[in-house]
């Protein structure tokens, strides 16, 4: 069976080095290129047919340019969606260190299938898991039935919110704000291991309530981010203000 070709588009040398190492350890994956800017991607992608693209959300137009981190100028997301429209079979895994809920919502509300998101400080096992999840065609977002229940049924949404303790809701809020586990631990004055235990408690409660998140019985952090946004646990984006972006 031919290896899956993976393209990395990111201007951070350390990140591309880490991602390249993670991918190279997998016998059925191979790196087919590394691009560092929008212009390099546009000029060189015609010569490559990747199965999956690991795409930085915030890219410089040209290598060395300053990067605009505003939610309205997410270059990686824009060119990723443009390429996806022309090449619907390619999978795209978007990455960044500190995504805003608005940007997460852009990904979640996209009409495209085969796209996902992962934090740049992810460990190698979770990174590879996200790639394999996309390649297998498993959704990263909350499935349609659960999504519509959460958005349209206020009593169901309140019941779900009340399912979690105050500390669990706070952890979900910080996850939705793009905080990695170590930073959440510092803000809550606890250990990273304890934050991990809270996240597992949240996952267990969702499983008990039969809430399916992307068909995954163990939701990833991006999936929990989508849930927190739908529940309105982040002050920056509530379900009533949810915005769909079409590219």
Read off the pTM: 0.65
The Cα 101–Cα 189 span in angstroms is: 24
Burial label, 108 (beta-carbon count in 10 A; 0-12, 13-18, 19+):
buried
For the chain, domains (ranges, CATH) are 4-135 (3.40.50.2300), 144-241 (1.10.10)
Which two structure tokens, joined as six digits, stand for 103?
């940007």
User: What string of pLDDT tens digits covers the 247 residues of the chain?
Assistant: 789 999 999 998 889 999 999 999 999 999 999 999 999 999 999 888 999 999 999 888 887 666 666 655 688 899 999 999 999 999 999 988 766 667 777 777 777 888 888 778 777 887 888 888 888 876 554 554 456 566 667 787 788 889 999 999 999 998 888 787 888 999 999 998 999 899 999 988 888 877 766 555 567 777 787 788 778 887 654 444 333 333 2
Contact 175, 225 (CB under 8 A): yes
3: left (phi over 0), alpha (psi -120 to 50) or beta: beta
């Amino acid at each position: 069976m031919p290896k899956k070709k993976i393209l990395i588009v990111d201007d951070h040398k350390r990140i591309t080095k880490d991602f390249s190492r993670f991918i190279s350890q997998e016998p059925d994956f191979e790196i087919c290129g590394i691009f560092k800017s929008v212009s390099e991607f546009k000029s060189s992608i015609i010569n490559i047919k990747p199965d999956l693209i690991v795409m930085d959300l915030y890219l410089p137009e040209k290598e060395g340019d300053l990067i605009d981190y505003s939610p309205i100028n997410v270059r990686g997301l824009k060119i990723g969606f443009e390429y996806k429209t022309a090449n619907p079979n390619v999978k795209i895994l978007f990455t960044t260190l500190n995504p805003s809920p608005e940007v997460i919502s852009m990904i979640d509300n996209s009409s495209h299938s085969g796209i996902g998101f992962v934090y740049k400080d992810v460990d190698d096992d979770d990174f590879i898991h996200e790639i394999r999840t996309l390649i297998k065609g498993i959704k990263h977002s909350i499935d349609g039935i659960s999504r519509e229940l959460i958005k349209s049924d206020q009593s169901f949404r309140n019941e779900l919110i009340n399912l979690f303790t105050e500390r669990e809701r706070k952890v979900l809020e910080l996850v939705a704000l793009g905080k990695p586990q170590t930073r959440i631990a510092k803000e809550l004055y606890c250990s990273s291991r304890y934050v991990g235990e809270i996240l597992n408690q949240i996952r267990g409660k969702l499983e008990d309530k039969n809430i399916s998140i992307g068909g995954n019985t163990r939701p990833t952090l991006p999936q929990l981010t989508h849930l927190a946004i739908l529940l309105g646990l982040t002050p920056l984006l509530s379900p009533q203000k949810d915005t769909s972006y079409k590219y």
